[in-house]
């Protein structure tokens, strides 16, 4: 592998460059294309703009004075008189409590059950007793 790379490098240095230089004028080979000239100009403008921006940022940093922030305000006393709902502590306690238990469904536990006396549904005449 190294032998192939070294042979390619020697070919490019020896024969290819000699052929390239003999084929055209050196001025034509060294001429910059219009696209590259435009790209170079754009990069130089961007570089100058970046330098100006850094200079402005440096001036702003030098002229800016910072002060310490005041201590935080305890708002707990201010919120209580104006709130109509539960306090934050009450809400937190309600969240921690277990949810209330649901009542058992109203099914008969025995093998038979009687319908309520006021029940006059469509199936009342079929059976007055239900069995599970």
DSSP 83-123: --S--HHHHHHHHHSPPPPPPPPS---SSEEPPPTT---TT
Confidence check: pLDDT of 36 > 60: yes
Q: Which residues contact 110 (CB under 8 A, 6 or more apart)?
A: none
What is the value of pTM for the model shown? 0.35
> Beta partners for 112?
131
Q: Is residue 128 within 8 Å of 112, Cβ to Cβ?
A: no
pLDDT in tens, 81-102: 555 666 666 666 666 666 667 7
pLDDT in tens, 39-63: 999 999 999 999 999 999 999 988 8
pLDDT at position 122 = 56
Give, in order, the Cα–Cα distances in Å from 9 to each of 19, 20, 51, 132: 15, 15, 41, 95
């Amino acid at each position: 592998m190294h032998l192939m790379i070294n042979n390619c490098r020697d070919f490019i240095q020896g024969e290819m460059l000699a052929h390239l230089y003999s084929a055209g004028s050196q001025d034509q080979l060294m001429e910059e294309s219009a696209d590259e000239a435009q790209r170079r100009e754009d990069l130089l403008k961007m570089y100058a703009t970046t330098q100006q921006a850094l200079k402005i940022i440096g001036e702003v940093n030098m002229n800016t004075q910072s002060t310490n922030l005041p201590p935080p305000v305890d708002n707990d006393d201010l919120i209580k008189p104006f709130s109509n709902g539960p306090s934050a502590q009450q809400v937190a306690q309600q969240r921690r409590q277990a949810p209330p238990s649901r009542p058992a469904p109203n099914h008969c536990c025995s093998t038979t059950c009687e319908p309520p006396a006021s029940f006059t549904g469509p199936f009342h005449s079929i059976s007055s007793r239900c069995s599970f």
